[in-house]
Amino acid sequence: MNHFDYRDGQLCAEDVPLSEIAAAVGTPFYCYSTATLERHFRVFSEAMPKGALVAYAVKANGSLAVIKTLAKLGAGADIVSGGELKKALAAGVPASKIVFSGVGKTRAEMAAGLDAQIYQFNVEGEEELDVLSEVASSKGATASVALRVNPDVDAKTLAKISTGKAENKFGIAWSRVKAAFAHAAKLPGINVAGVALHIGSQITELGPYREAFAKAVALVKNLRADGYQISRIDLGGGLGVPYNDKMAPPLPESYGAVVREAVAGLDAQLIVEPGRLITANAGVLVAQVLYVKRGEAREFLILDAGMNDLIRPALYDAWHDIVPVRHSSAHAKVYDVVGPVCESTDLFARDRELPAVSAGDLVAILSAGAYGAVQASSYNARGLAPEVLVKGRQFAVTRPRQTVDDMISQEQWPDWL
């Protein structure tokens, strides 16, 4: 459920017509709904066993305002870089609720995490363990660590967002897990407290979760039998969301039932890392139609938003519903909806049926709140689109549009030019 609805023929974010925001900030822009963010976080958290740490995966949407909205509800943060660490702290997430994931942490990032005294590092390899041990020891600190294991489970999602198969770069190879724990136990500055996994994103079946969680729980029991003190289990994120009416991924409560069943009686601190589920349907990208261009065999709707603003369709062939901002009962037409970027992959939708639109009309690309603005670039010297947060009848620009002057001011001339 989300809070983007037509009222009096106008698509609104909560109580604010998107056309009003467009008039104030120009297009394209991202718009997020506070009520939807809050609802998604609450529904997900309530589906988890009591006491679980729900560490919002900042990579899905790193807007400070979004993180803070969630932090105020008690969210922790799952971060994957020193940059995300700074953002999570700046948005008010307590360090005691921050989990540092990621396959390539630098020494500087580790040091920053240790200085902030974050809850946990999810370490993805023995090589990384050695470096974390060195960095922690040099500071006289101890890093609380979960080892992220690769359970070799097929998440049955898109290959490009699958992370838990043996061929993926993530996690410690299943055959090396015991050796990695033994290695970690001998290292100074390391306290191995848990087992972590994350098998992929936009997961729409519960079976892979059942399989992976059962492996993780069995591993915790096995390690405990070997004398390790394993007090935490991190089951990652990845629950899929509906990108259109035909998709019906499992509801948080069904996913929660799988989690509960897996960890029942384990007596371990549970950590989960949802990202997409919280933010995807809490955000839209609003664009203006620049041209309706008749091609040889098709008609192109050329928007002022491009793949630099939202790369998911180009990168993953992802589907996003696209709707007119002003409700229309015009006859349906079939368009290729494209952006202005000089790439043929700058295509939001091929052969998409939409009510007939004209140049100047506004359209909303739905479900754009996760992996949208965070993956944007300034390709073609197109400034990053602004981000706007709505709450009831209020809206605020939380990140202004990046101007070309901003971009130029960040470059420097070499002496010889």
Ligand X SMILES: Cc1ncc(COP(=O)(O)O)c(C=O)c1O
Closest contact distance (angstroms) between CB of 50 and ligand X is: 21
If one asks whether residue 281 binds ligand X (CB under 6 A), the answer comes out as no
Binds ligand X by CB under 6 A, chosen from 38, 128, 152, 273: 273
Query: In sequence order, what DSSP letters do the residues of 31-57 get, joined into one string?
Result: EEEHHHHHHHHHHHHHHSPTT-EEEEE
SS3 27: coil
**Stretches 13-21, 178-186, 235-243, 325-333: which one binds ligand X (CB under 6 A)?**
235-243
How far is C-alpha 384 from the geometric centre of its chain's CA atoms?
Answer: 18
- Given 1, 225, 342, 417, the catalytic residue: 342
Q: Are 291 and 318 in contact (CB under 8 A)?
A: no
Closest-approach residue to ligand X (CB): 275
In the range 130-169, which residues lie near ligand X by CB under 6 A?
163
Backbone angles phi, psi at 27, to 5 degrees: -125, 160
Q: Are 195 and 233 in contact (CB under 8 A)?
A: yes
Residue 289 or 370 with smaller CB distance to ligand X: 370
If one asks whether residue 238 binds ligand X (CB under 6 A), the answer comes out as yes
How far is C-alpha 240 from the geometric centre of its chain's CA atoms?
Answer: 11
Look up 342 and say whether it is catalytic: yes
List the one residue out of 168, 242, 231 whose CA is nearest residue 199: 168
Q: C-alpha distances in angstroms, 64 versus 81, 126, 279?
A: 15, 33, 13
Residue 197 or 287 with smaller CB distance to ligand X: 197
Binding residue count for ligand X, defined by CB under 6 A = 18
If one asks whether residue 78 binds ligand X (CB under 6 A), the answer comes out as yes
If one asks whether residue 346 binds ligand X (CB under 6 A), the answer comes out as no
Question: What whole-number distance in Å separates Cα of residue 37 and Cα of residue 232?
Answer: 27
CA-CA-CA-CA torsion sign (348, 349, 350, 354): negative
If one asks whether residue 274 binds ligand X (CB under 6 A), the answer comes out as yes
Residue 44 or 335 with smaller CB distance to ligand X: 44
Binds ligand X by CB under 6 A, chosen from 277, 305, 337, 347: 277
Residue 88 half-sphere exposure, CB side, CA atoms within 13 Å? 31
Closest contact distance (angstroms) between CB of 80 and ligand X is: 7
**Nearby residues of 295 by Cβ (< 8 Å), 6 or more positions away:** 336
Contact map string, positions 253 to 272, toward ligand X, x by CB under 6 A:
--------------------
If one asks whether residue 249 binds ligand X (CB under 6 A), the answer comes out as no
Closest contact distance (angstroms) between CB of 327 and ligand X is: 31
Residues that bind ligand X (CB under 6 A): 57, 59-60, 78, 101, 163, 198, 201, 236-239, 273-277, 370
Catalytic residues: 342
